[in-house]
Amino acid sequence: MFDITEIRVRAGDGGDGAISFRHEKYVPFGGPDGGDGGNGGNIIIEADATITNLLRFRQESTYKAERGRSGQGSKKHGKRGKDLVLVVPVGTVISDKEQQGEGASIADLEQDGQRVVVAKGGKAGLGNVHFASSTNQAPRIAQKGEPGEEKTLLLELRLIADVGIIGYPNVGKSTLLTASSAAKPEIADYPFTTRAPVVGVVEVGLDTFVLAEIPGLIEGAHRGRGLGHDFLRHATRTRMFLHVVDGSLPSPAEDMTRVNTELGLFDTALARRPQLVVVNKIDLPEVRARLTEIMESFRSIGITPLVISAVTGEGVAELMAQTWNTLKQIDDTRKELPEKVFRPRPQSPRIVVYKDRDTFVVEASALERIIARSDVADAEVRWQLNQQIDKLGVNRALKKAGAVPGDKIRCSELEWEW
């Protein structure tokens, strides 16, 4: 059920704008007619309920969308590059490996059909028809298409369930899942019998919910000990926990506290998630004999646990009914919460100017794309570029940065004296 893999994606580059002039017989007026390029294709990731794992991405890890076609004469625009749609299982979390903190998270695909653009295709370059003016009626400049975005992504498949059964290894989590649903997890008397989550559907009257057994947890799990990180990643998906403790152990209340500590050390939100504490194995005579003592130890820390025997089924139906009631309360609370609002990040400045020794360096995507598509050795083209330098606001940015007449300026491959 759990899977994680890394892929490299690159959106399509934008097509170049064309440099073309109208030359037709019997047409009295010519002029520029170079068309724009086509936009590059996007990389899109879509959730599909029929997909169950990320295996295909381990077999093939590099994906590239189609680039846009270049423009042509007669104002013909280039064809847009096709989007590339990658299909992943529902429950896949996508993050940017090269980013850190909150900026790393791109999307959490929790619903069938949900999709997200993970890499945007490059913008198309403008043809020379866009650069004509009253003072420049024969522009021999155009724009090169922008490169498409390139990213290294982490795809992480996480369990989606309503309720997660948590606790130390061998406390009876698998037995409880078997007793309450049709799931058939492996059951044995050694630790870490369950190495991946097992899911079952529980029926309470006419209602149902999804119950998952989470792999066992030990102290130090937040640092990766045992199956720690696998356990904790799965735990983030569930809406509430059934926290099972073994009544035959010396200190069930202390065991519960240690598990909750591991949850909080990994993610504080997990420690605040609703949970029902369940004392298991009351079918054993020694547990029944000290049941009053066990209950008192929990009440001393403000908790009233439920008691069950997952082996005999005693108390399991009541536990599932209480779990369903708690889930309904969680849903009612969520309805009152405001919807999340995602705001786009502020765009980086269009023009950046900085000084490198005795030269002012200009970073301006729009200008760089024109330079890349033009013959900068041609004197007339350089004159036309000067017009664009002023029109795009580069001269204003240079003046603001402290440049004075006579200073050397560099943008991409073009150098000039201001």
The CATH number of the domain where 77 resides is what?
2.70.210.12
* Same structural domain, 74 and 198: no
* Same structural domain, 29 and 88: yes
Residues 147, 122: Cα–Cα separation, whole Å = 5
CATH number at residue 413: 3.30.300.350
Q: Which among 124, 157, 190 is the end of a domain?
A: 157
Tens place of pLDDT per residue across the chain (418 aa)? 447 899 999 999 999 999 998 876 665 566 899 999 999 999 999 999 888 788 889 889 999 999 999 999 989 999 999 999 999 988 898 999 888 766 688 998 988 999 999 999 999 999 999 998 888 888 999 999 999 999 999 998 877 788 989 888 889 988 999 999 876 655 444 344 444 567 888 999 999 998 988 775 545 433 444 444 555 666 777 889 999 999 999 999 999 998 888 788 877 888 888 999 999 999 999 999 999 999 999 999 999 999 999 999 999 999 999 999 999 988 665 544 444 444 445 555 689 999 988 999 999 998 999 999 888 888 888 899 989 998 999 999 999 999 999 999 999 888 998 8
Q: Which amino acid is at 355?
A: K
* Same structural domain, 143 and 202: no
Q: Which among 276, 300, 335 is the end of a domain?
A: 335
The verdict on residue 345 lying in a domain is no
Rounded to 5°, the CA angle 242-244-245 comes to 155
Residues 261, 220: Cα–Cα separation, whole Å = 10
The verdict on residue 346 lying in a domain is no
Instruction: Quickly tell me which residue has 């003072």 as its tokens.
Output: 135
* Same structural domain, 36 and 101: yes
The helix (H) or strand (E) run that includes residue 333 is helix 316-336
The verdict on residue 344 lying in a domain is no
Query: Do residues 140 and 19 touch, judged by C-beta distance below 8 A?
Result: yes
Instruction: Flag whether the pTM goes above 0.85.
Output: no
Residues 324, 207: Cα–Cα separation, whole Å = 8
Q: Edge-to-edge strands of the sheet including 43-48?
A: 84-89, 43-48, 115-119
* Same structural domain, 148 and 171: no
* Same structural domain, 153 and 168: no
The verdict on residue 286 lying in a domain is yes
* Same structural domain, 355 and 330: no
The verdict on residue 250 lying in a domain is yes
Residues 178, 54: Cα–Cα separation, whole Å = 27
Query: Do residues 307 and 288 touch, judged by C-beta distance below 8 A?
Result: no
Query: Do residues 294 and 281 touch, judged by C-beta distance below 8 A?
Result: no
* Same structural domain, 255 and 175: yes
Query: Do residues 128 and 141 touch, judged by C-beta distance below 8 A?
Result: yes
The verdict on residue 343 lying in a domain is no
Count of structural domains within the chain: 3
Residues 106, 114: Cα–Cα separation, whole Å = 13
Rounded to 5°, the CA angle 29-33-37 comes to 175
The helix (H) or strand (E) run that includes residue 368 is helix 365-372
* Same structural domain, 245 and 356: no
* Same structural domain, 10 and 100: yes
Q: Which among 157, 191, 218 is the end of a domain?
A: 157
Query: Do residues 92 and 48 touch, judged by C-beta distance below 8 A?
Result: no
The verdict on residue 340 lying in a domain is no
Query: Do residues 40 and 148 touch, judged by C-beta distance below 8 A?
Result: yes
Range of the domain at 250: 163-335
- Pairing state of beta strands 207-213 and 198-204? antiparallel
CATH number at residue 267: 3.40.50.300
The verdict on residue 175 lying in a domain is yes
* Same structural domain, 152 and 25: yes
* Same structural domain, 313 and 392: no
